[in-house]
Structure 1
């Protein structure tokens, strides 16, 4: 099998998830190339070396530009914060590298459009890793909707809830600074929800939104030599939070459906709860990431007296992706969605076909998110360009 040399930029949470995916993809999927963990790149040499040794990366590099210049790298995996995506992606595309990029795609839709044009001009494959599309239960929901099992869609309702910054003493990390993150949960969390809405329901035409910041100042964060954040920031002073803590949107879809979105980091007790509900003329589908192997399905075609939501355990061989894993009833987890993405990406490279979502999808998502922020500021409905 021909090798596909991967260079990853970023080695923390997403770096670990992506490394695991590249290592496992060929073990469970019949893919045309063997991914090779060639070079890991990051700022802090000591922690980078530790990461590379643990995950099996052959080499390390502290300058991403030198990594991109290498002739032996086929794919650049961008696992950095989003303010770094555009510069890295465009340089890599110009060097002829295929791109596997974490979400959100960029800081603005205009920036993302430039990224897409560079990729098109260079003829490289570009993938945006909204990994939840590759949850088997969600892919099953897509198939059920396409088969008409819930009829014409009337309602979409999504919520992405976390609680990791409810403590006022949580430090001012990059996620809370507009110059590095662009926005708060509207960018980080609602990007996932909008992608799923586009995937399952359709394009969004207009947005009415509000945002709220609950804590205006936080202790300054200090990064140590090993790249670790010092959580106890007492004595380092206070800094301004410049993004929202919660965002809510009401939307209209092109197909006539209506929808709502809630994204917050202030939902105590919710660690990573992504849920959605879809209601149609002949049934309904609901999903909760905290029970990611399950799909709730209601059908109006069931006999009177026997109607109700039924639980579908998406672990049968005929469910998306599952035939590559374990016997029915043996559940899979969050990390498997990244493996599915890696396998699909390598397969797309082998066949010369596109993979979804791509940078064009990322632009469409960002335009909805931007419309939401503008609506919240101007206190009026904003049409999505």
Structure 2
């Protein structure tokens, strides 16, 4: 490419700021012929857009989303509340620009597959923000499993515990509405856990059981202009219509069984995604709070020195050299670096003209599991994944 790719971001909330962080820092190292120009942040809350643009070095802030869609930027990143994606993403895809979207792309399987179909008809590069895949230690674990280091996978457990909803005074935002969100813990954080399970262990073919629970049934209404998960001082309340806790039992295409544990009210565990995978010759484990390492056990023939090894992420592992502060193992990579690595991979795909592995089809594969889980919970029966 002879000129920088110009970047626009739609959405200046928490996810939009993470995307801005990713594009800003992706300038460190992407590909020899890829550079970026940070053009604009668009959000109806113009003051917020101006603040985010200034913080991350974007040239402009825009209050009109359609103005950005109709502009001459090359790439648009979309990070909006779930219920706005079905309205905004079709217009962005129709513009012919390269598109990077925050997960989930739709609230329902129908919305997701419609957007997947539109994206597949585009010649532009499309990607979705399953950022945890880009953590070097998790990517290295996936590689080890794919290489057969632990044998044939028979059991896998993933979890995502968070405490952003543990305070009953947390404002009743769109995240607590089934209609606006498409799912509570099941979709908000479950999207990452389900994607991680399929990334490492294989595709899910059947939801054997799903249990959904809402522990905090009423929340105070939000104050105007609030973003994030903060408490509200409103004396008026409204009902929570989606789940705080979700437990899933799954069957995989390779015959393995899986379990997914999700909670957004896990007091004292602010943000923990993890996976444990067991095979016929060993096991491997990763947890995002200690994201710079993973553990692997490979059974030896004599058993004398059997035991899990603690492996530190380093330059020999995927994405590490692009995002770590220093080119040496043990310097630490975590949540922030994952956003940088996913944007770098997206930009490389644009440069190379190749498909991103976390594209709109990957988002629909995750959404098929969510859809089956919702149906399994309501019917109290096992549900096959729609192909």
TM-score range normalised by the length of the shorter chain = over 0.9
Residue 78, structure 1, aligned to residue 78, structure 2: yes
Instruction: Give 1:305 deviation, angstroms.
Output: 2.8
CA contact (8 A) 2:186 2:262 kept: yes
Where does 1:215-364 land on structure 2 (aligned, <5 Å)?
215-224=216-225, 231-235=231-235, 237-301=236-300, 303-315=302-314, 317-324=315-322, 325=324, 326=326, 327-364=328-365
**Which stretch has the larger CA shift, 117-126 or 60-69?**
117-126
Partners in 1 of 2:121 and 2:137 — Cα distance?
36
TM-score by length of 1: 0.95
2:19 counterpart of 1:21 = no
Q: Find the residue that maps to 2:27 and give its secondary structure.
A: helix
Distance in 1 between the 2:47 and 2:183 partners?
Answer: 31
1:291-339: CA deviation from partner (whole Å, max 9, x where unpaired) = 0011011111264231111110112x21112233322221122111111
User: What are the superposed Cα offsets for residues 173-202 of structure 1, whole Å, 9 maximum, x if unpaired?
Assistant: 111012221110100111111111111111
How far apart, in 2, do the equivalents of 1:62 and 1:338 lie?
25
Structure 2 distance, partners of 1:230, 1:366, is 28
5 Å matches for 1:50-129?
50-70=51-71, 72-129=72-129
Is the Cα contact below 8 Å between 2:203 and 2:253 reproduced in 1? yes
Between the aligned partners of 1:61 and 1:323, the Cα distance in structure 2 is 35
| Per-residue deviation, residues 62-112 of structure 1 (Å, max 9, x unmatched) | 121121111x11111011112112222211111111110111121111111
Shift, 1:21, TM fit: 1.4
Match for residue 190 of structure 1?
190
Q: Give the whole-Å Cα distance in 2 for the aligned partners of 1:228 and 1:365.
A: 24
Deviations 1:213-263 (Å, cap 9, x if unpaired)? 112111111123x7688733233x110111111111000001010000011
Structure 2: gaps (5+ residues): none
Q: Contact conserved, 1:222 with 1:230, CA < 8 A, in 2?
A: no
Q: CA deviation at 1:169?
A: 2.0
Indicate if the aligned counterparts of 2:135 and 2:333 stay in contact, CA closer than 8 A.
no
> RMSD over aligned Cα, in angstroms?
1.6
* Mapped partners of 1:76, 1:16: distance in 2: 14
- Name the CA shift for 1:287/1:228 in 2 (closer, same or farther; >3 Å): closer
Counterpart CA distance in 2 for 1:133 and 1:340 is: 9
Q: TM-score by structure 2 length?
A: 0.95
Contact 2:165-2:265 within 8 A present in 1 as well? yes
